[in-house]
Structure 1
């Protein structure tokens, strides 16, 4: 799914209107999509308090109020009575609303904090076009709404949030439980500093002009199931183990064998035809007993001292590797000679960062840093927007793929494209989850998935397995090893 800027979305609205639907009818369609979703998901709600601005977001709010009233809900509408300059379509819907005697229209100032669990607040004050920090009555009412401990639904985007960038310092933003947005994700939904205001995102299709969407260029995308189903390759019946590649997982050290074991198991579960593990001798018994399908290749007694190069294999290197001097030398020698597909993670990244050896990362490599590892590699940034921009620059400069792990993991390609992953959950924020991802990616690349597609598919598959784990075990109790057990369920889901 493409992510468009606020300016592009406005142009898309105009293109849709140019194809024959009037602006007021487009507003009606958007409002109906919201009202229908609210009706389906809040059937037991007694009352909706709808806060409307003077622009088209407020017009949506007026129309939603009318539609919810027609569905037999109790509705109150709040506006800033000091503002008279309503947009043309907002005026039309406000006029319709005033003709309904059962809906009371009040001023923002008359709202008082309440704790009624059967009441829901709907925010339709400012939409995606906001380009300044809130002030005056708008800021006051948002502060008051944020103090109210009842559920809140934002229409299009929480008031106070920008669509494409970080909000201003000390800005006031509505803290929503749900955001009902139209047709597209906004970039601000997908970053930790801003996404925390959005709650659960629901993207409502309002049939904006598909030709415009197809023709509009963007560097930002959300990984959705349409993309994944285009990438996924079901296994051919007439095939053999050689068909599905050769994965070599490199890592483990004294007292850190679990990491490379999880990578090995996840590579196997993801479908690797032949799987090898290069680890120190101290890992032999654990790996042979816990992953008998993989072949063990020892290197050193307690720490890896040599990394052999195997022809036509894909390497995943780093989980539990440690940073012993002999291991560092082995990594440097390997990278100087190895020029094929590789996934670099964890301690391997830290070794490169600490020794200023980033230039050893081969072209088309995949690196999978979390934010702190990324900072060690490429330098400090002020926020996640700046961090992603730096990642785009580095991916292009080094001609590598960067999978930047975060609440919404982002895949950054050498041609500066960013793909945000929306599967996964906070239950995956535990040591070992990244080791599972390394195994998944190594396995997919070894199975001849094009590297960029393997990154997109791997990030999604990893997160989807996490979502299945959270459903069964809870976010608190789920373990990284549970992710491995759910990989098969993800493949069954895709093949159904």
Structure 2
């Protein structure tokens, strides 16, 4: 799914209108999609308080109020005290609800929340067109609404957010439980500093012009089910273990054998044809007993002294690796002589960062840093938007793929495209989850998935397994090993 800028969304609206639908009818279509969703998901609510701005977002709110009233819900509408001019379509929809005796239209300042436990606030004050920090009466209103302890819905996007950039320091933003947005994700939904205001995102298809959407160029995407099903390759029957490649997981050190064990197990569960583990001798018994399907190759007593080279294999290096001097020398020697793509994670990245050796990473390799590891490698940034732009620059400069781990992990390609992943949950915020991802990515690349597609599919697969695990065990109790055990359920889901 493409992510468009606010300007591109405006152009898409215009292109749709040019195809023959009037702007007021397009607004009606958007409002009806919201009202239908609200009816299904909030059908036992007694009352909706709907706050409408003067622009088209307010027009959506007026139309939603009318449609909810027609569905037999009790609604109250609130508008700006200053009686500023409304947009033409908002004016039409305001006049329509003023003709309905059962809908009361009040001023923002009239809102005094009464103890109605079964009610919902709907925010339709500002949509994607906002380009300034909230101030004055609107700021005061949003702060007041945020203090009310009932469920809240934002239409298009929470008032106070921008579509494409970080908010200003100390900004006031409506805190929604649900955001009903139209046709596209906005980038601000997918970054931690801004996404926290959105709650659960529901993208509603309102029939914007498909030709325009198909032709418009963007460098930002959301990974969706359509993309994944186009990437996923079900196994053919007449194959053998050699068909599905060799995966070599390199890592582990005294006390950290569990990390490389999880990478090994996840590679096996992701379909690697032959799987090897290179680790210190102290991990031999653990790995052979927990992952008997993998072949163990000893490298040193407590730390890695060498990385064996095996032809036509894909390497995933770093989980539990340690940073001993001999381990560092082994990594540098391997990277200087190895020209094929590798997957690098954890201590492999920290070693490169501490020695300023990022230029040793082979072209088309995959690195999987979390924010702190990324900072060590490439420098400090002020926020996640700046971090992503620096990642785009470095991915192009080094010709590598960067899997930038976060609540919404982003895959950055050498040609600076960004794919945001929306599977996964906070239950995955535990040590070991990244080690599982390393094994998944290594196995997919060894099965000859195109590297860009392997990154997209691997990150989605990792998150989807996490979602299945949280459903069974809860976010609090789920373990990284539960992700591994749920990979089979995800493949069955894709095969259904």
When the two structures are superposed, what TM-score results if normalisation uses the length of structure 1? 1.00
Structure 1 residue 349, shift from structure 2 partner: 0.3
The aligned residue for residue 270 of structure 1 is 270
Partner Cα distance (1:61, 1:413) in 2: 39
Partner Cα distance (2:131, 2:219) in 1: 22
| Counterpart secondary structure, 1:105 | strand
Q: Deviations over 1:376-398 (max 9, x none)?
A: 00000000000000000000000
Match status 1:135 vs 2:138: no
Structure 1 residue 116, shift from structure 2 partner: 2.8
The aligned residue for residue 493 of structure 1 is 493
The aligned residue for residue 405 of structure 1 is 405
CA RMSD in angstroms comes to 0.6
Q: Deviations over 1:282-332 (max 9, x none)?
A: 000000000000000000011110001110000000000000011000000
The aligned residue for residue 449 of structure 2 is 449
Match status 1:100 vs 2:79: no
Structure 1 residue 117, shift from structure 2 partner: 2.6
How do 1:181-200 and structure 2 match up within 5 A?
Answer: 181-200=181-200
Structure 1 residue 365, shift from structure 2 partner: 0.5
Q: Deviations over 1:89-127 (max 9, x none)?
A: 000000000000001001000112445330100000000
The aligned residue for residue 65 of structure 1 is 65
| Counterpart secondary structure, 2:395 | helix
How do 1:49-448 and structure 2 match up within 5 A?
Answer: 49-448=49-448
Structure 1 residue 468, shift from structure 2 partner: 0.2
Alpha-carbon contact 2:81-2:109 (below 8 Å) kept: no
Alpha-carbon contact 1:114-1:149 (below 8 Å) kept: no
Partner Cα distance (2:135, 2:113) in 1: 20
Structure 1 residue runs of 4 or more that deviate by more than 6 Å after TM superposition: none
| Counterpart secondary structure, 1:277 | strand
Unpaired segments ≥5 residues, structure 1: none
The aligned residue for residue 467 of structure 2 is 467
The aligned residue for residue 23 of structure 2 is 23
| Counterpart secondary structure, 1:348 | helix
Structure 1 residue 81, shift from structure 2 partner: 2.9
Structure 1 residue 137, shift from structure 2 partner: 1.5
Partner Cα distance (2:226, 2:283) in 1: 41
Between 1:167-176 and 1:238-247, the stretch displaced more is 167-176
Partner Cα distance (2:4, 2:41) in 1: 28
Partner Cα distance (2:82, 2:223) in 1: 43
Partner Cα distance (2:226, 2:290) in 1: 36
Alpha-carbon contact 1:15-1:212 (below 8 Å) kept: yes
Alpha-carbon contact 1:246-1:272 (below 8 Å) kept: yes
Q: Deviations over 1:440-463 (max 9, x none)?
A: 000000000000000000000000
Q: Deviations over 1:13-58 (max 9, x none)?
A: 0000000000000000000000000000001100000000000000
The aligned residue for residue 48 of structure 1 is 48
Between 1:150-159 and 1:75-84, the stretch displaced more is 75-84
Partner Cα distance (1:242, 1:148) in 2: 61
| Counterpart secondary structure, 1:234 | coil
Q: Deviations over 1:102-157 (max 9, x none)?
A: 01001000112445330100000000000011112211110100000100000000
When the two structures are superposed, what TM-score results if normalisation uses the length of structure 2? 1.00
Q: In the comparison of the two structures, how many residue pairs are matched?
A: 496
Alpha-carbon contact 1:317-1:348 (below 8 Å) kept: yes
Partner Cα distance (2:186, 2:270) in 1: 32
Alpha-carbon contact 1:115-1:148 (below 8 Å) kept: no
Alpha-carbon contact 2:182-2:203 (below 8 Å) kept: yes
| Counterpart secondary structure, 1:218 | coil
Q: Deviations over 1:148-203 (max 9, x none)?
A: 01000000000010000011121110000000000000000000000000000000
Partner Cα distance (2:403, 2:303) in 1: 27
Partner Cα distance (2:117, 2:267) in 1: 47
Between 1:23-32 and 1:168-177, the stretch displaced more is 168-177
Structure 1 residue 341, shift from structure 2 partner: 2.2
Partner Cα distance (2:332, 2:374) in 1: 19
Partner Cα distance (2:443, 2:25) in 1: 50
Partner Cα distance (2:492, 2:86) in 1: 52
Alpha-carbon contact 1:401-1:452 (below 8 Å) kept: yes
Partner Cα distance (1:155, 1:328) in 2: 52
Structure 1 residue 84, shift from structure 2 partner: 2.8
Partner Cα distance (1:352, 1:160) in 2: 40
Alpha-carbon contact 1:437-1:462 (below 8 Å) kept: yes
